[in-house]
Amino acid sequence: MPHFTDEHGVRIAYYRWLVENPRGVVQLSHGLGEYAGRYVELAGELNAAGYSVYANDHRGHGQTGLDQHHGDRSQFGRLGPGGLRATMAGIRQFTALIAGKNPGLPLFLLGQSWGSLMAQIIVNGSSRPYAGLVLVGSAYRMPGSMDGGDLSRRHRPPGGGHGYEWLSRDVAVQTAAAADEFMFEAKVLKLFGLADGLRLFGRPARHFDSDLPVLILSGTDDILGGEKSAQKLAAAYRRGGLTDVTVHLYPDARHEVLRETNRDEVVADLLAWLAAHAV
């Protein structure tokens, strides 16, 4: 896998799914407890629509985490020196790398779950590098609107289950996650500590340095955020001066709407939005 080295000397592994003469580029930012390789199907769909796709394994995750912790999978989720701030700096560094390889092309940042929370923080600082922001399985990052507790509690079957029921209604998605040796339980405070856990809280900026288009894709049965949280997030972006904010809510869908039983509908909504903004 290709890689770049961050400001603390951590090697960040990444994937790239490229097309000739792309109409735009999508940078994927994955969630806590997973890794970028899970997005190969989505990358293929984006490629077929004319987009090149890049996705890094964040610190402590996937191949980056395996290299960082010398093959010790028990350390998955540990972000290492610089913690959350360094992880987000790595995303910004990756953005610059991608932009340098694709000059003049619109670059969209797509974040899933934890990746979307970091994306929110990143564009608060500067939205100019991006032609658009896509937030999937996201939340309004304030207490009462973002649930980082026992994420499986609403969907846990009798006997305890495997802990991945909250991701999707699709049992195949759940069982694949449970069997994946690169997946682990998304426990923020245990993995990050209190200080970095608290850094995930916050609101969209009151003023942005560009009129960034935003797309929010959320299931109404997503325990991390859900319908009310997604609507609060959209309203906050509008208060911040953004004029192009779109929300798609999918009834009864859980956290990973891009892997839900109605994923064809979700992907179609994503591709339609990208096509309208890749100009």
One-letter amino acid for residue 68 of the chain = Q
CATH architecture type of domain 3-277: 3-Layer(aba) Sandwich (3.40)
Task: Quote the tokens at residue 9.
Answer: 């000397």
188 to 69, 84, 128, 198, 200: CA distances (angstroms):
19, 11, 29, 10, 10
Summarised one tens digit per residue, pLDDT across range 172-221 is 999 999 999 999 998 898 899 999 999 999 999 999 999 999 999 999 99
Summarised one tens digit per residue, pLDDT across range 51-78 is 999 999 999 999 999 999 999 999 999 9
Distance CA(199)–CA(29), nearest Å, equals: 18
* pLDDT at res. 179: 97
* Domain residue ranges in the chain: 3-277
**Residue ranges with strand state E in the chain:** 3-5, 11-17, 24-29, 51-56, 107-112, 132-136, 214-219, 245-250
Q: Is the pLDDT assigned to residue 233 strictly greater than 90?
A: yes
Mean of pLDDT over the chain: 96
Distance CA(226)–CA(154), nearest Å, equals: 13
Distance CA(93)–CA(114), nearest Å, equals: 18
Q: Using only C-alpha atoms, what is the Rg of the chain? A: 17
Summarised one tens digit per residue, pLDDT across range 165-174 is 999 999 999 9
Q: Is the pLDDT assigned to residue 147 strictly greater than 90?
A: no
HEC-encoded secondary structure of 137-161: CCCCCCCCCCCCCCCCCCCCCCCCC
Place of tokens 């916050």: 202
HEC-encoded secondary structure of 214-247: EEEEEECCCCCCCHHHHHHHHHHHHHCCCCCEEE
One-letter amino acid for residue 11 of the chain = R
Distance CA(55)–CA(45), nearest Å, equals: 15
Q: Contact at 8 Å (CB) between 51 and 26?
A: yes
Task: Quote the tokens at residue 149.
Answer: 């507790």
